[in-house]
Every structure is written in structure tokens, then in C-alpha cells.
Amino acid sequence: MTLVNPHGGGDLNPLLLDGPSLKAELEKAKKLTQVKVSSREKGDIIMLGIGGFTPLNGFMTHADWQGVCDGMTTTSGLFWPIPITLSTDKSTADTISTGKEIALIDPDDGSILATMKVTEKYTIDKGHECATVFGTTDIEHPGVKMVMEQGDINLAGPVKVLSQGGFPEKYGTLFMTPKETRALFNELGWSKVAAFQTRNPMHRSHEYLAKVAIEVCDGVLIHSLLGNLKPGDIPAEVRTHAIMALTKHYFVTKTIAQAGYPLDMRYAGPREALLHALFRQNYGCSHLIVGRDHAGVGSYYGPFDAHHIFDKIPKGSLETQALKIDWTFWCYKCGGMASARTCPHDDKERLLLSGTKLRKMLSEGSDVPPEFSRPEVLEILRKYYAGLQEHEKVEVKLTGHSAK
């Protein structure tokens, strides 16, 4: 048995230069017009660099943007659920001619992330992108806000990536490229691999999802988002430590691997679930665990919209398939974790779990039931919250499905 093919059916397409070509491109880049990118765009550049966005070779044209918004397909016929675009303000765009090269600058430290040959400058209907990708134009939606606040001019063209944006230095061996995860899976003898997407520490419901996947797969990749989150979310370093404690004490050795990837959350719900499956295919995963309200926020999406969207895309769009799991909870009458498919009991017997609820209890210093989270995990998280300065504390509100 072999791992799934990279998206598009070919080989991985990492755009990161190295050796003499990297040195030469960096020297050339110093003389180019500089465009500072956003945090989201930085994550996209790093994914292009490491092959996570295989087979893309850069930022999308207007025709590709339109095709992805309206039909989740580029002009070449490639399935892609969310536009990968670069924007800037009009005054900067006016200084850039098509056919010219520019340097893309890290928003965090001002270093050069990539060079790009600009093949097209274009404007978009931002509201149309929001309506098609997020299913809403409500400015309170964090993804909508991100799009509406981006520059008015999009720049398209191929990129040469010159940096991994500090992710390897910050996260060490947690930051893995698709080439590296594929090598790890081969070393472990895995061919059927489920990815578990997380931006939260793992509570008992997450543990249950991963263990269900292990029953039908060779192993699970716990794949943590390392880019930007909402205020009040728990940093990746803390999440990683908590996940390590959980897997050490409650999982069989060599059934779990842990890694991180450099994107920001878009909170695009169903469309982002498809993107998560797409780039996990590049990382070598045959399945993506899709639970309740995957990549959602508030009450913008139904709890299982991310399940249903996998049934609506054309057959063959993705090799990586959704491993759909129903609403999970602790059932006092069953005496353990269960799902709506396996538990016959009333809601009053069920303790519904969510990352938001856990963060709220921890941020307020409330007791956390043992049915909610493992003690080894809670010890790490309580230490984190106890160390927060007053200005770092954020009120956690229960909205949408997490309020139930």
C-alpha cells in the first residue's frame, strides 16, 4: 500500500529555493519593489514554499479567482475551494508594472519571504468572494472582515519562495513539510492516515474522534494550526505540550504523530474543510476527521455543513476523504464517550464538549469535570492561564453551537 498522491496527481511542487539559487535570488530581491504581505498571505507563501499547496505555482489570476469562488475550480480544471490571492493598496499597485518582479516582505520582521513575477493586476468584488466562500457578508465574521480589509488590488503571478518565515526556528520539529510527513508515515508503515485538524488543546471529545479514526486507519496525524487565531485562543506551544501529555498517557505508541502547519484560520466552515482535506492530501493523509462545525465560527454554519459539502463536490476532486463523525459527548448513563449515532439517551444525560467551553471554564478559573478533559492536560492549561497578565486575558463567550 502506498500513500495518496499529491493533489493534482503529480509530484509535490515545493517552491522554496535553496543553495546557490536561493542566495542569488535573495541578492536580486534586495533591488526589487517591496510589498509587505498580510499574516494570511505569509502563511499561504510558506505553504507554497513547502509544497502544501501543490500544484499551485503562485497567486491566482482573476479568472482563477472567479472560477474558485463560483465553482471551486481553476481555469485549468483543478479543484480548489478557496481563492489563494495576494492584495495590495492602489498606490503601491500603481508603482508595479505587469511583467515586473517584486519582493514579498514578511509582516513580522521585514525580511524577504519570496519574489513574484506580476502577470496581472485586477480588482475583485469582495462581497462576492465573501458570499461564495464564507456564505455571508456579515462583517462580524472574522473571515469576511479579513477579506473586506485587504487591499483593493490583487496581484497574480508565480512565486519563488526564499524563507520559511521563522516557523522552523520557532516550532522546531513540530513544523513539518509534506515531504517530511510522508517520509515519517513510510517509516511508520502507515498508508491509511487520518488527519486531525486542531486549533485547540484536545479534550475528551477530540480524544474520542482520534481513537475512532485509529480503529479504521493505520494512524492519526494531529495537525495543529501554527498561524494566527482569534483573541483568547490558546497558543500553539501550549497546545502542543498539552497534546503531547495526552498522547503519552492515553494513546498506543506509534498510532499518533504530531505536526504543525503555517496557515492562519479563515473560519470558512465547509469550504475550509475542503481546503483542509486538499492540503492534507499533499501531506500524505488519506482521510480528514470532520466532526461538528469543522472550521466554523459562531452560528454561521450548520453543525454538519462540513460533512455535507464533501457529498456535493464532483467525484475525483480529492483523493483524501472525509471521515465523518457525529456530535460527540460524554454520556453519564453510557458511562463514557459516545456520539448521536451510538447513544440512545436524552440530552440531560449528556455533557456536550467544545474547545470554547473549555477555554471559558479555564479562563474563569471554574472547575472542569473529569469527563471533559484529562488531568494531565488540565494541569498544563491551568498553568498557562495562571501565568497570563491582566491585559492578556480575553473574555470567552459561548456562541453558536458551542453555547448548546
The answer to whether position 11 is within a domain reads: no
* Domain membership of residue 236 as a residue range: 171-261+267-403
Nearby residues of 6 by Cβ (< 8 Å), 6 or more positions away: 12, 13, 51, 54, 55, 178, 281, 282
Same domain, residue pair 310 and 214: yes
Same domain, residue pair 176 and 192: yes
State the CATH number of the domain containing residue 180.
3.40.50.620
Residue 134: pLDDT above 90?
yes
Domain end call among 107, 131, 165: 165
Same domain, residue pair 285 and 390: yes
Q: Domain count for the chain, please give it.
A: 2
Same domain, residue pair 249 and 318: yes
Same domain, residue pair 36 and 149: yes
Nearby residues of 264 by Cβ (< 8 Å), 6 or more positions away: 39, 40, 43, 225, 227, 228, 229
Please write down the long-range contacts of 214-218, taking CB distance under 8 Å and 24 or more positions apart. 214/251, 214/252, 214/255, 214/256, 216/192, 216/323, 217/190, 217/192, 217/193, 217/286, 217/287, 217/323, 218/188, 218/189, 218/190, 218/191, 218/192, 218/193
From 40, 200, 204, 280, active-site residue: 200
pTM for this structure? 0.94
Average pLDDT over residues 374-382: 93
Domain end call among 141, 165, 189: 165
Same domain, residue pair 130 and 275: no
From 40, 199, 239, 266, active-site residue: 199
Same domain, residue pair 334 and 192: yes
Model confidence pLDDT, tens digit, residues 273-323: 999 999 999 999 999 999 989 999 889 999 999 999 999 999 999 999 999
Residue 113: pLDDT above 90?
yes
Same domain, residue pair 149 and 219: no
- Can 199 be counted among the known catalytic residues? yes
Domain end call among 135, 165, 195: 165
Q: pLDDT at position 147, please? A: 98
Q: pLDDT at position 352, please? A: 86
- Average pLDDT of the chain is 93
Pick from 332-341, 358-367, 378-387: least confident: 358-367
Model confidence pLDDT, tens digit, residues 154-165: 999 999 999 999
- Can 200 be counted among the known catalytic residues? yes
